[in-house]
Structure 1
Amino acid sequence: MLIIPVKEGENIDRALKRFKRKFDRTGAKTQLRERKQFTKPSVKRRAQIQKAQYIQGLRDQEEI
């Protein structure tokens, strides 16, 4: 659970902004999206390899 103490005289918008920033850093939203449906470990691994190949291709292009 996220706890954001609101300081005396602090604008509620600033506190809300701090909450949003803290919420994004925890990665809760991405974790919820990931848990919506099951993906097999082999599919995860394949996606990870494809991403690595893509990034490596970009780096190779940059060197040329």
Structure 2
Amino acid sequence: MIPVKDGENIERALKRFKRKFDRTGTMRQLRARKQYTKPSVKRRAEVQKAQYIQSLRDAENL
């Protein structure tokens, strides 16, 4: 629930709501639950993400 302040523009309150809703990750969770992903595929994606982040950190340290 987003409290709307006195004199606050409704568009601004809506933008705050959308931002708060995005941070909860509800839509991401719903989309992930729509289709089944095998544990091996999840693991492979996690490893690839970790490799990517590590390569960014290595490039930053050069």
TM-score per shorter chain, which class? 0.7 to 0.9
**2:50 aligned partner:** 52
Distance (whole Å) between structure 1 residues aligned to residue 23 and residue 10 of structure 2 = 20
Cα shift at 1:59 = 3.4
Question: Which aligned pairs between 1:1-64 and structure 2 lie closer than 5 A?
Answer: 3-64=1-62
**Aligned residue pair count:** 62
Gaps of 5+ in 2: none
Identity %: 77
How far 1:4 sits from its partner (Å)? 1.1
Scaled by the length of structure 1, the TM-score of the pair is 0.75
Normalised by the length of structure 2, the TM-score is: 0.77
Unaligned stretches of 5+ residues in structure 1: none
Q: CA 1:56–1:16 in structure 2 vs 1: closer, same or farther (change >3 Å)?
A: same
What is the alpha-carbon root mean square deviation over aligned residues? 1.7
- The structure 1 segments of at least 4 consecutive aligned residues displaced by more than 6 Å after TM superposition are none
CA distance in 1, matches of 2:58, 2:3: 48
